[in-house]
Amino acid sequence: MMSTLELPVAVERPTPPVPESIADTGLKETFIQQLILKTIYYRGEILGRDLAKSMGLNFSLLEPMLEFFKGQYLVAVKRSLGVGMVSSVFALSDQGRNITLQYIESSAYSGKAPVPLDQYCAVVKLQKRKNWLTPEKLAEAFSHMIVSPDVLAQIGPAVNSGKSFLMYGQPGNGKTYVAESLFRIESDPIFIPYAIESGGQIVEMYDPLYHTQLDAVSDEPSIWAAPEEENYDRRWFRAKRPFIASGGELTLDMLDLAYKPDSKVYDAPLQLKANNGIYLIDDFGRQKVSPTEVLNRWIIPMERGTDFFTFLTGGKISIPFETFLVFSTNLRPHQIGDEAFLRRIQYKMYLRNPVEDEFQSIFFKQCAALDLELDHGALEQFMEYRYRITKKPMRRCQPRDILTHAVDLIEFENLPRLLTTEILDRAYDSTFVADQFEE
């Protein structure tokens, strides 16, 4: 019996094995029976092979149950498209529909058979990354942007450790861009279940907004297709390590199980969907709840590596917390919390304004990306009068913003894609507000 998934720790990427028996699934047989009936009910009629694919289980596990349902006159074979029950088309009888409607009253969940909580926890722990990041991998991930070696030297240890990370600094210096670039780091894929089950309660995990499947299986009927030789449990999907971001819209409710009364199942919170990946809290300190409330929600998960959730029924579950939390804020650290508060976040990095050489490198890189040519001496004159004399603070976003306005101007007036001092000045004036204006 495989109630707890046992995988060799030495395996670089743990692979959930294909269940060879009902016991291997970790689910009660009655649960699978109900899921079969609900799947047929929602489909109207379904080919045996497609039923197995829809549930993520081998047909050999479902066949004895279908035989039982036939004997109880709950399911009928409408027609056969080949040899064996796998090629038969099944539909519910009137009695079968009446019984299934009673099951739907308790839970309308239909889809991939869920993974028991203990099996999920075992895989999450095995998928935890340890000493996986190298300076070369980090540099490659940030090769698309201008970033100084000292910044990479601060980011590397934080990412490699997987501990919480705070980036702060003035707006426009690319904190969000830096955080999003972490998703570009080459890493091993992971397995994520479509849903998990605990005590009969279902928590849906798969979210197409955040999860990128690497072995996507078509939902189209496979009437003439031969059964595929599955090399892992298809209740899971292989995916890129997730990167999830939320900003000012974040509320505490979004960090707990969300009950869906129509289907009577739960939707996983953001940090659970991001397990074994990255969760970015952007604009930290500008949420509808205070930074203290947000951080208090995560004090125990960050310190103990375990998150806790409660069902409406009162049942509680604990799940490994293997999410790399990244906080990004434009506020000064003392504005989001005191020393004891900030100590809870393990790594901190101040993303300073770019120096002039860095600013110009960003400018040249953006020109190349936009296919713009610089007139001789135009940038030097622009920097002198717009930044050096006025002492205007430089931000990493400014070259992009100014050059975007320059392109709009060039295209509107049908001018050559040549950046002159005049065009740069006009683009600058339309990008920034004036320091003074006449009454």
Same domain, 161 and 261: yes
Residue that finishes a domain, picked among 311, 331, 350: 350
Same domain, 270 and 341: yes
Q: How far apart are CA 196 and CA 200, in angstroms?
A: 10
Same domain, 150 and 199: yes
Same domain, 39 and 61: yes
Q: Return the closest-CA partner of residue 346 out of 221, 75, 161, 190.
A: 161
Give the domain CATH number at 42: 1.10.10.10
- Number of domains forming the structure of the chain: 3
Pairing mode, strands 165-168 and 347-350: parallel
Give the domain CATH number at 426: 1.10.8
Residue 42: phi, psi to the nearest 5? -70, -30
pLDDT at 227: 41
Q: How far apart are CA 322 and CA 301, in angstroms?
A: 9
Amino acid at 43: R
In a domain, 3, yes or no: no
Same domain, 210 and 343: yes
Q: Which two tokens stand for residue 318?
A: 């604990």
Q: How far apart are CA 407 and CA 415, in angstroms?
A: 9
* 3-class state of residue 262 by DSSP: coil
Contact present, 348 and 168 (Cβ < 8 Å): yes
In a domain, 11, yes or no: no
Residue that finishes a domain, picked among 350, 369, 402: 350
In a domain, 18, yes or no: no
In a domain, 437, yes or no: no
Same domain, 177 and 278: yes
Output the CA angle 345-350-352, nearest 5 degrees. 165
Q: How far apart are CA 338 and CA 197, in angstroms?
A: 39
Long-range contacts of 286-290 (CB under 8 A, 24+ apart): 286/247, 286/248, 286/329, 286/331, 287/247, 287/248, 287/249, 287/250, 287/251, 288/248, 288/249, 288/250, 288/251, 289/250, 289/251, 289/252
Give Cβ neighbours of residue 352 (< 8 Å, ≥ 6 apart): 169, 173
pLDDT at 186: 82
Q: How far apart are CA 242 and CA 182, in angstroms?
A: 11
Same domain, 104 and 158: no
Residue that finishes a domain, picked among 350, 383, 407: 350
CB atoms under 10 Å from CB of 214, counted, come to 10
pLDDT at 8: 38
Q: If 0-12 CB within 10 Å is exposed, 13-18 middle and 19+ buried, where does residue 88 land?
A: buried
Same domain, 134 and 96: no
DSSP-based helix, strand, coil % in the chain, nearest 5: 40, 15, 40
CB atoms under 10 Å from CB of 430, counted, come to 13
Residue 50: phi, psi to the nearest 5? -75, -30
Q: Return the closest-CA partner of residue 279 out of 265, 298, 304, 253.
A: 298
* 3-class state of residue 296 by DSSP: helix
Same domain, 361 and 344: no
Residue 209: phi, psi to the nearest 5? -70, -30
Place of tokens 């056969």: 80
Q: Return the closest-CA partner of residue 393 out of 170, 214, 182, 74.
A: 170
CB atoms under 10 Å from CB of 25, counted, come to 25
pLDDT at 343: 85
Contact present, 273 and 178 (Cβ < 8 Å): no
Same domain, 72 and 157: no
CB atoms under 10 Å from CB of 17, counted, come to 14
Same domain, 301 and 193: yes
pLDDT at 130: 81
In a domain, 304, yes or no: yes
Same domain, 213 and 102: no
Q: pLDDT 10s digit of each residue in the chain, 439 long? A: 344 444 433 345 679 999 999 999 999 999 999 999 999 999 999 999 999 999 999 999 999 999 999 999 999 999 888 778 899 999 999 999 999 999 999 999 999 999 999 999 999 999 988 888 888 999 998 888 888 888 899 999 999 988 899 999 999 998 988 988 888 888 889 999 999 999 999 999 999 999 999 886 555 555 433 344 458 999 999 999 999 999 888 999 999 999 999 999 999 999 999 999 999 999 998 888 888 888 888 888 988 899 999 999 999 999 999 999 999 999 988 888 888 878 888 899 999 999 999 999 999 999 999 999 999 999 999 999 999 999 999 999 999 999 999 999 999 999 999 999 999 999 999 999 876 555 5
In a domain, 10, yes or no: no
In a domain, 16, yes or no: no
Domain coverage including residue 96 = 28-113
Residue ranges of the alpha helices (H) in 162-237? 175-181
Global pTM? 0.86
In a domain, 20, yes or no: no
